[in-house]
C-alpha cells in the first residue's frame, strides 16, 4: 500500500504501458498535481520487472551534484531511476542522451517536470526519438467520484494499475453510446458551483474557502518567484499575478492579445511573452479554432481556458454562493470546468484527441470540437440550464451538415435525463462527464 490517503490515478496504466517500451518517459503537469505521488506508486508497483530508485532535484544536494558534475552524476545513477523536477537541472540533459545511447532499455529513465516541454527545449532536443511525453493534470471529477466509493478506496497500488474508466468520450468515439431516456441522473444545482470552486488540485480542494485562497496565493508566488524566474529570462515578475487574475476573469472567452495588453497597460510583445510563460507553466491553455475545407467562414481566434476552475475562482475571490448568483460568471466557469474534464478524459484515451472550439461569422458557435487524429469529430455545447432547446443544437447542426467526419453532437446540461434530439444528436446531464451514460 502506498498510504491511506493515496488516490489511484487513471493515468497510471497508460504510464506503465509507455514505460514498457520507451527508454525515457517525461511526466509533466502543473505543480502539486500529483506527479510525485504517481511516481511513488510506480516505485511501489509489483508488476514491473525492475524497481525504480527515486531522486528529487528539490533536494539542494542533488541539484548541486548535477550542476557541478553532470557526467559523474549520470554515471552513478542506478539502472532504473525516477528523476523528479528535471527542469531544474538542464546540465544533465545531454548526459542522459549519452546514457540511453550506450545502454538503450525500456523504461530506464522516468523524468518529471512542472513545465511544458517547450520550456525545456534542450531536453526535447537532446532526447529526440528517445523520449515519450505523458501529461498529468489535477484530479478529474471521475477520479474524485470513484475515490468516494468504499470499493475503490480499498484498491491496492497493484490493483489500481488495471483500473480503466469508460468515459463519454470512449462511448461516443467507439460507437458505444446508448441513450436510455428512462434512466435519470441527479441534477447538480448548487453542487455544480461547489465542484467548480473546489477544483481538482489534491491539497487545496478540501480546505475551507479562506485557507484554499491562501494556498493558491502561495502557489502563484511559487510559480512567479521560482519557475518563471528560473526557467525563463523574464524578470518583470510583478506582471505574473496581474496577468493570471485577468486571464481568470476572461476564461472561456476569445483570446485577444491587444485587449489584454491594454488592460495591463503593457506592450503586446511583453504580454505575449508572459502569456506564453503562464501557458507553459500550466495556468491556462489556448483552445484553437476548428475549421475545414467545407467551413470557410470560421473565426480564427483561439479561446482561453484556465486549467483549473478552483484556481481561477480563488484568484477572483469567488465562493460557491457568489459564483451561483453570478449567472454569467457561472456560465464561463462551467464551460471551463467541462474543458478541464474533457482534457483529462482525452489524456487517458488510447488515440490522440485534440480539443478545438468553433465560431463563424454567421454566429454559429460550438464550445468544443474534439477531433480524433483527423478521422472524426464530436461537437459539445455546454449549458447550465435544466432544460434543452432545439436552438441549443444550432451550431452543432451546422457542423453535422457541413462536415463529412461528424460523429456526434452533445449538449451537456444540468438536467436529469439523457435525450435524443435526432440522428447522432444527444442532450446529456453534466454529470455524465464522470458518471457515464
Tens of pLDDT along the chain (437 residues) come to: 455 667 889 999 889 999 999 999 999 999 999 999 999 999 988 878 899 999 999 999 999 999 999 999 999 999 999 999 999 999 999 999 999 999 999 999 999 999 898 878 889 899 999 999 999 999 999 999 988 755 445 445 555 555 555 678 888 888 778 777 666 777 888 999 999 999 999 999 989 999 999 999 999 999 988 888 877 787 788 899 999 999 999 999 999 999 999 999 999 999 999 999 999 999 999 999 998 876 767 889 999 999 999 999 999 999 999 999 999 999 999 999 999 999 999 998 877 899 999 999 888 999 999 999 867 999 999 999 999 999 999 999 999 998 889 999 999 999 999 999 999 999 999 999 998 77
Closest listed residue to residue 437, CA positions, set 176, 189, 191, 140: 176
Check residue 164 and give its pLDDT. 54
CA-closest candidate to residue 198, choices 139, 131, 249, 255:
139
pTM listed for this prediction: 0.92
Query: In terms of CATH architecture, what is 12-135?
Result: 3-Layer(aba) Sandwich (3.40)
**Domain boundaries 166-187+349-437, corresponding CATH code:** 3.40.1350
Give the pLDDT score at 1.
45
- The backbone torsions φ and ψ at residue 181, rounded to the nearest 5 degrees and listed phi first, read -70, -15
Q: What's the rounded Cα separation, in Å, for the pair 188 and 377?
A: 28
User: Rounded to an integer, what distance in angstroms lies between the CA atom of residue 376 and that of residue 406?
Assistant: 6
Q: What is the C-alpha separation between 102 and 138, in angstroms, rounded?
A: 36
Q: What confidence score (pLDDT) does residue 287 get? A: 97
* 12-135 shares its CATH topology with 166-187+349-437: no
d(CA 364, CA 299): 10
Number of DSSP helices (H) and strands (E) in the chain, helices first: 21, 14
Q: Looking at the structure, give the CATH architecture of the domain made up of residues 190-333.
A: Orthogonal Bundle (1.10)
H helices of 76-199, in order, are 93-102, 121-126, 141-147, 150-153, 157-160, 168-173, 190-198
Residue 427 C-alpha from the chain's centroid? 24
pLDDT of residue 150: 52
Please report the pLDDT score of residue 22 as a whole number: 97
pLDDT at 6: 77
Domain ranges of the chain: 12-135, 166-187+349-437, 190-333
Phi-psi region of 424 (alpha: psi -120 to 50; beta: other; left: phi over 0): left
- Dist CA 232 CA 241 (whole Å): 16
The pLDDT of residue 335? 99
Cα of 347 vs its chain's centroid, Å: 8
Estimate the crossing angle of helix 327-348 against helix 190-198, to 10 degrees.
Answer: 60
Give the separation between CA 242 and CA 254, rounded to whole angstroms. 19
The grid cell for 108 is 530506464
Amino acid at each position: 500500500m502506498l498510504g491511506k490517503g493515496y488516490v489511484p490515478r487513471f493515468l497510471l496504466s497508460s504510464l506503465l504501458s509507455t514505460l514498457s517500451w520507451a527508454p525515457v518517459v517525461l511526466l509533466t503537469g502543473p505543480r502539486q498535481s500529483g506527479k510525485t505521488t504517481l511516481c511513488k506508486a510506480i516505485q511501489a508497483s509489483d508488476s514491473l520487472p525492475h524497481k525504480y530508485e527515486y531522486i528529487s532535484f528539490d533536494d539542494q544536494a542533488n541539484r548541486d551534484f548535477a550542476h557541478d558534475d553532470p557526467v559523474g552524476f549520470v554515471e552513478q545513477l542506478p539502472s532504473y531511476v525516477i528523476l523528479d523536477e528535471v527542469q531544474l537541472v538542464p546540465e544533465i540533459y545531454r548526459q542522459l542522451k549519452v546514457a540511453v545511447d550506450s545502454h538503450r532499455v525500456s523504461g530506464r529513465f522516468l523524468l518529471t517536470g512542472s513545465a511544458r516541454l517547450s520550456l525545456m527545449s534542450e531536453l526535447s532536443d537532446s532526447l529526440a526519438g528517445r523520449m515519450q511525453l505523458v501529461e498529468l493534470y489535477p484530479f478529474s471529477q471521475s477520479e474524485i467520484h470513484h475515490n468516494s466509493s468504499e470499493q475503490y478506496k480499498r484498491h491496492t497500488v497493484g490493483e489500481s494499475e488495471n483500473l480503466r474508466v469508460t468515459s463519454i468520450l470512449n462511448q461516443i468515439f467507439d460507437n458505444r453510446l446508448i441513450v436510455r431516456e428512462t434512466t435519470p441522473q441527479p441534477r447538480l444545482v448548487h453542487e455544480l458551483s461547489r465542484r467548480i470552486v473546489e477544483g481538482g488540485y489534491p491539497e487545496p480542494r478540501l480546505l475551507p474557502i479562506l485557507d484554499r485562497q491562501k494556498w493558491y496565493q502561495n502557489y502563484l508566488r511559487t510559480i512567479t518567484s521560482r519557475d518563471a524566474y528560473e526557467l525563463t529570462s523574464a524578470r518583470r515578475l510583478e506582471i505574473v499575478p496581474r496577468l493570471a487574475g485577468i486571464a481568470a476573469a476572461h476564461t472561456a472567452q476569445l483570446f485577444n492579445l491587444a485587449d489584454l495588453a491594454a488592460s495591463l497597460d503593457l506592450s503586446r510583445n511583453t504580454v505575449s511573452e508572459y502569456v506564453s510563460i503562464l501557458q507553459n507553466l500550466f495556468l491556462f491553455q489556448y483552445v484553437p479554432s476548428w475549421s475545414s475545407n467545407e467551413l470557410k467562414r470560421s473565426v480564427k481566434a483561439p479561446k482561453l481556458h484556465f486549467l483549473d476552475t478552483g484556481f481561477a475562482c480563488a484568484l477572483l475571490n469567488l465562493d460557491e454562493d457568489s459564483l451561483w448568483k453570478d449567472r454569467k460568471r457561472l456560465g464561463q466557469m462551467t464551460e471551463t470546468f467541462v474543458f478541464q474534464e474533457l482534457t483529462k478524459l482525452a489524456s487517458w484515451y488510447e488515440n490522440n484527441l485534440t480539443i478545438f472550439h468553433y465560431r463563424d461569422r454567421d454566429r454559429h458557435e460550438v464550445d468544443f470540437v474534439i477531433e480524433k487524429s483527423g478521422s472524426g469529430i464530436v461537437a459539445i455545447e455546454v449549458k447550465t440550464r435544466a432544460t434543452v432547446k432545439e436552438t441549443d443544437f444550432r451550431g452543432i447542426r451546422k457542423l453535422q451538415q457541413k462536415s463529412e467526419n461528424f460523429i456526434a453532437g452533445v449538449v451537456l446540461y444540468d438536467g436529469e435525463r439523457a435525450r435524443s434530439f435526432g440522428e447522432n444528436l444527444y442532450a446529456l446531464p453534466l454529470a455524465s462527464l464522470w458518471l457515464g451514460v
